[in-house]
Amino acid sequence: MTIKPGTVVEFGPNTTLMVNGGALMAMGQDGDSIYFKPDAATPWNKIMVKLGGALTMDRCVVHGGTSVYVQMAKASITNSHIYDMQYGIDAVGTTLDDMTCTDNHIASCSLYGIRGTTAAGTFDGNIIENCLCGGILWIGDRVSNVEAPLFTHNDVHYNGTGTVPMSGAYFNATTARLECNKLAHNLPFQVKCESQGNVVMNDLSGLYPTPNLLIGVQTDLACYYEADCANAQMVSPITPLMWVSGSAPQLSYGYNTFSFDNDGTYIFRKTLTCSPLLDVTDNYFYPVNNPPAAGNFHFCPDVGFSGTALASSTTECSTSGPGSNGLLSESMTLYRQGAIAERDSNYALAHNAYESVITQYPQSEQALWATRASLRTGLEASQSAALLHDTLAGVYSNTSLPLALRQSARREAVWALLSAQNYLAATSDLQAIMNSPMPDDSLWAAIMMEVVTLVQESNGPGTESLGPDGDVMGERVNAFHDRLNRLMGRPTDDEVLAAKAVPVVKSDKLCRAYPNPFNNTVNIAFELPQDGNVRLDIFNLLGQKVVALVNEPMKAGSHTYRWSGETASSGVYFYRFVTGNHVETQKLMLLK
């Protein structure tokens, strides 16, 4: 089906536009976009492309529904404006080459701008802003395939409220690559990695530098404690730029910039085992009068900051790296040899190099990276997944090796079974890990059991059946995220929406704030479809009412009120607009 430029597609209540095995082309033009919108204030559901279908969307405007949903299908979404949805783009079971999203503006989503579940894809040049829970949520891609999602040149800012402990970008059970992104003023964190959220924020193949920029928010929202370790210490009330828990992200030689306007916590590694170092060699940290050290990195007391930070200006993304001036450690040099061989598709040579890192430098952080790289290149070199599983299981059984390395190898052994779709054996391994005395391992295994169950369901009966929302698999994905949130001690998406009183769908005539962010003064405009009482209040981040702008009966039509934040502190605020049964809550950012 082809939709011509200038077309307006209006959806009735709970309507889904479904493409099941076919193709949908919606190609707008400059000044002549295609619009997907509700026909009234009643919710519509989603644009759904699934099971071998294809979506091409360019210069489109999509708002007022649940999501643009892509399940095991191809999608190219470019130059489009997606806003006032629950999830802007929702990907399930997609592949790196088949899912591309470029130069889109995704804004004001009541949950997340982009959500990925057991999926991969390429996301480049997108702006993701003002989404209630976070900009990006990505979980479990390693279970479905060996590819990792790629995020490049995206601008992710002003997402999150601080009350839901997510972030600008949240990663769980993934090796997502982050290259040249800017994550700024998200709450409470810019990047959060949990339960093998092993993101890659460097390029060791020598191809080009891939620095990311993380800019922090100062807030008295909460204090964090390392209660899992002896000699617990209070962390700065300024929330950390990056939260790492049960994960080993690759940061060293990444030339990433971690920046605060004043003293803050750069990286907080919340860990249950008080194990490996987080190597941040050759990254930039500001302010320069607060250099990286064990004190402001807030590692467990028995470990500390590793590596040498850079104090010069930030590195730009380019086609030639700044190099490391011959200062690479021996373990990093050997790991880099593997990365270069992998880049050149010499997988057998790369696999041998990674194996050498594990055996020769088991105490290094590169050995942790090498466990997953060894599995990845071994599979590419057509080695038996069962043999790779046994090899990695042997590393775990070697009690003379560091515990962190053994744990990483044990988890990679499970990935080996999953790559061969040997779910029965993988489930058996996961059950054994769930009985482990290490809480971090047990939690990871419980999460993976949920992911494996979801993947098995996606291949089982009922996948193509229709449920109340038009898709059984979509219901299973939402139920999976609910169970995951319970495991992680977080509210479900429905609970977030209910607590924040954020409407699932908004009509064309919404309450709007401009400019936002603002300096001292913001205009809040709204249009009443009929006469009625109006309440318009401003709240701070702690939920305290700052000012009541309106509380009176008003006539139908357009109205604008102005709030002066001249006496207020910089930070995040919310306005709450209520008329009849209609309630809206939106974020305001005051910058001085």
Residue 580 belongs to some domain of the structure:
yes
Give me the pLDDT at residue 321, please.
42
Higher local confidence (pLDDT), 193 or 270: 193
Residue 254 belongs to some domain of the structure:
no
Distance of alpha carbon 385 from alpha carbon 586, whole angstroms: 49
pLDDT digits (tens, 9 = 90+) for 350-403: 999 999 999 999 988 788 889 888 988 998 888 898 999 999 999 999 999 888
Instruction: Report CA-CA distances (Å) from 172 to 166, 429, 448.
Output: 11, 19, 10
Query: Rounded mean pLDDT of 444-469?
Result: 64
Which range among 54-58, 229-233, 552-556, 566-570 shows the weakest confidence by mean pLDDT?
Answer: 229-233
> To the nearest whole number, what is the mean pLDDT of the chain?
77
pLDDT digits (tens, 9 = 90+) for 143-186: 655 578 999 999 998 888 655 667 889 998 888 999 989 998 88
CA atoms within 13 A on the CB side of 170: 26
Give me the pLDDT at residue 248, please.
79
Q: Give the number of domains in the chain.
A: 1
Residue 376 belongs to some domain of the structure:
no
With beta carbons less than 8 A apart as the criterion, state whether 38 and 504 touch. no
CB atoms within 10 A of CB 38: 21
Query: Rounded mean pLDDT of 107-130?
Result: 92
Give me the pLDDT at residue 589, please.
76
The residue segments making up the domain with residue 578 are 512-590
CATH number at residue 517: 2.60.40.1930
pLDDT digits (tens, 9 = 90+) for 527-567: 788 888 888 988 776 667 888 899 888 888 878 888 988 88
Q: Encoding tokens for residue 343?
A: 């880049």
3-state secondary structure of 104: coil
Closest Cα to residue 91, out of 107, 112, 108, 64? 112
Distance of alpha carbon 59 from alpha carbon 450, whole angstroms: 37
Residue 519 belongs to some domain of the structure:
yes
pLDDT at 312 over 50: no
Evaluated on CA atoms 160, 162, 163, 167, the torsion sign reads positive
Residue 549 belongs to some domain of the structure:
yes
Residue 559 belongs to some domain of the structure:
yes
Residue 156 belongs to some domain of the structure:
no
Query: Rounded mean pLDDT of 65-74?
Result: 91
